[in-house]
Amino acid sequence: MVVEWAGSGPELLVPLDRDSREPLRAQLEGALRDAIRCGRLRAGERLPSSRELARQLGVSRGLVQDCYGQLHAEGYLSTRTGSATRVAPLPAGTLAPVAAPAAVTRPLRADFAAGVPDLASFPRAEWLAAQREACRLAPNAAFGYGDSGGNPTFRETIAGYLRRVRAAHADPDNVVACGGFAQGLNLALGVLRQAGHRRVAFEDPGYGDDSALAATARAGLRAVPVPVDADGIDVDALAGSGVRAVVVTPAHQWPTGVVMAPERRRALVAWAIRHDAIIVEDDYDAEFRYDREPVGSLQGLAPDHVITIGTVSKTLAPAIRLGWMLCPPALNSAIVDDKRLADRGSSLLDQLTVATLINSGRYDRHLRRMRSRYAARRQALVSALAAYAPTVTLTGLAAGFHAVAHLPVDVDERTVIERARAQRIGLYGMSGYRADGSSTPPQLVLGFGNLTEDMIQDAVRTIGTLL
């Protein structure tokens, strides 16, 4: 991509040796010529004006003008009256060889990747308005390093939001801003390691080969898979494993979509209290529910034993890289210390922007719009499968924007995925989420958040016979 600059143009690093016997003009010409030949300066890139480059290098403007004129005569530069001096396109073979570009793959017609929200629906206007407001109202002192645990306004806002929407026992002092779920989990694992834990339980199926398990190993902990059934994690199996820490997704189990049953939630909390254990609650997708009443956070049942991690990755966009941790008081200081060592704190403006969106009601309005949109896409998936693949059943539809498709027992999961990919349809099997990588029973995890209803219908029509 060619960089465009306003004013006098960009700065340009050109070394000149004033102790050399070679004239400065010859040095400048040679340096620019070599930079163009080797590709450091690309065709179409704008060079500084002669006046600006002379100022940067501490030479006369006439010297730079003579240099530009010579390189223009040689075909290296293009100049027009009233326009900037730019690097000219050179004939093939003139430039030094560069690495061949990677082969271009044709884009997918539809990608059923799970966990991806509707990126086109990011509320750009509301975000920019909230960002301007936050920037205008923030005191000068707020732009310093501040508290590595998070801006006080953000922490107060998130605590109020979690009390209101997630029935959490939330105190602003125990809220820590973090860079999304990945950093939140890293911080939680690090504190568990410091507290003497050596093993951490994960749901199976769960994160599978996800980076969460790599983070566990990097933290010096061993991941222990614990089976999930129709009511959530098997607490008896968890107790039998001997671990004293577990990562769970109770509101909408990842990836089966199971909502943890009330009796199972109570059993899990009782296990944590009985063994003085820690539950790390991944509270993703909790805002998007359809066929049943919302369920509260586990943290509200046992605030001293639960670390809840939430983000705006699903509600707004993953690119914001902002989340929060609601920590037990006994672990809060250690997590804040680790956060300070990791990055000194998350982006102030992003924290204040999210706080402004929530406090103004624009965040809730956006969530209502997205619930309606995802509900329509969910229905499109149900209808398309009923029409083109009636032997396939769907589960996990009570919340979020992904579901599990149960294929007939005689269908090979991996073959379906490969053949769909050949038709530019991205499918993903449950085998990638199981601890043993098994593809039996054959199931697909279908994300529909970032697909339109027409794309869903067309894709299912295309692969209906495969399913």
The pLDDT value recorded for residue 434 is: 94
Q: Would you call 399 helix, strand, or coil by DSSP?
A: strand
Taking CA atoms, 459 is separated from 159, 207, 407, 432, in Å, by 42, 26, 16, 22
Reply yes or no on whether the pLDDT at 412 is more than 80.
yes
Q: Would you call 56 helix, strand, or coil by DSSP?
A: helix
Contact between 158 and 363 under an 8 Å Cβ cutoff? The reply is: no
pLDDT-derived band at 6, boundaries 50, 70, 90: very low
Contact between 167 and 193 under an 8 Å Cβ cutoff? The reply is: no
Q: Would you call 281 helix, strand, or coil by DSSP?
A: strand
Sequence ranges of the domains in the chain: 24-87, 110-117+365-463, 124-361
The pLDDT value recorded for residue 246 is: 98
Q: Which residues face 307 on adjacent strands?
A: 280
List the one residue out of 416, 378, 383, 420 whose CA is nearest residue 400. 378
Strand order in the sheet with 245-248: 175-178, 323-326, 306-311, 278-282, 245-248, 199-204, 222-229, 232-233
Share of the chain above pLDDT 90, in %: 76
Beta carbons within 10 angstroms of residue 204's beta carbon: 20
List the one residue out of 97, 96, 72 whose CA is nearest residue 86. 72
Taking CA atoms, 57 is separated from 12, 15, 69, 275, in Å, by 9, 8, 18, 69
Q: Which CATH number describes the domain made up of 24-87?
A: 1.10.10.10
Q: What is the pLDDT of residues 427-461, one digit of tens each?
A: 999 999 999 999 999 999 999 999 999 999 999 99
Q: Would you call 325 helix, strand, or coil by DSSP?
A: strand
List the one residue out of 193, 198, 246, 201 whose CA is nearest residue 224. 201
pLDDT-derived band at 103, boundaries 50, 70, 90: low
Q: Which two tokens stand for residue 251?
A: 């509101």
Q: Which helix H or strand E contains 311, and what residues bound it?
A: strand 306-311
Q: What is the pLDDT of residues 318-358, one digit of tens each?
A: 999 999 999 999 999 999 999 999 999 999 999 999 999 99
Q: What is the pLDDT of residues 227-270, one digit of tens each?
A: 999 999 999 999 999 999 999 999 999 999 999 999 999 999 99
Beta strands in 360-458, from DSSP E residues, in sequence order: 393-395, 402-406, 425-426, 443-447
Reply yes or no on whether the pLDDT at 5 is more than 80.
no
Residue whose pair of structure tokens reads 């958040």 in the numeric block: 449
Q: Mean pLDDT across the stretch 417-431? A: 96
Beta carbons within 10 angstroms of residue 194's beta carbon: 13
Residue whose pair of structure tokens reads 């914001």 in the numeric block: 320
Q: Which helix H or strand E contains 323, and what residues bound it?
A: strand 323-326
Q: Would you call 318 helix, strand, or coil by DSSP?
A: helix
CATH top-level class of 124-361: alpha beta
The pLDDT value recorded for residue 446 is: 97
97-111, 348-362, 404-418: least confidently modelled range: 97-111
Contact between 277 and 271 under an 8 Å Cβ cutoff? The reply is: yes
102-106, 195-199, 251-255: least confidently modelled range: 102-106
Average pLDDT, the chain: 92
The pLDDT value recorded for residue 287 is: 86
pLDDT-derived band at 398, boundaries 50, 70, 90: confident
Radius of gyration of the chain from Cα atoms? 28
21-30, 224-233, 271-280: least confidently modelled range: 21-30
Q: What is the pLDDT of residues 57-71, one digit of tens each?
A: 999 999 999 999 999
Question: How buried is residue 78: exposed, middle or buried, by Cβ count under 10 Å (0-12/13-18/19+)?
Answer: middle
List the one residue out of 464, 404, 456 whose CA is nearest residue 431. 404
Model pTM score: 0.86
Question: How buried is residue 367: exposed, middle or buried, by Cβ count under 10 Å (0-12/13-18/19+)?
Answer: middle
Q: Which two tokens stand for residue 208?
A: 């599978």
Reply yes or no on whether the pLDDT at 2 is more than 60.
no
Beta strands in 343-395, from DSSP E residues, in sequence order: 393-395
pLDDT-derived band at 153, boundaries 50, 70, 90: very high
Residue whose pair of structure tokens reads 């509320």 in the numeric block: 123
Q: Which CATH number describes the domain made up of 110-117+365-463?
A: 3.90.1150.10
d(Cα 99, Cα 256) in Å, to the nearest integer?
Answer: 43
Question: Which residues are CB-contacts of 284 (< 8 A; sequence separation ≥ 6)?
Answer: 115, 181, 249, 251, 252, 254, 310, 311, 313, 314, 400
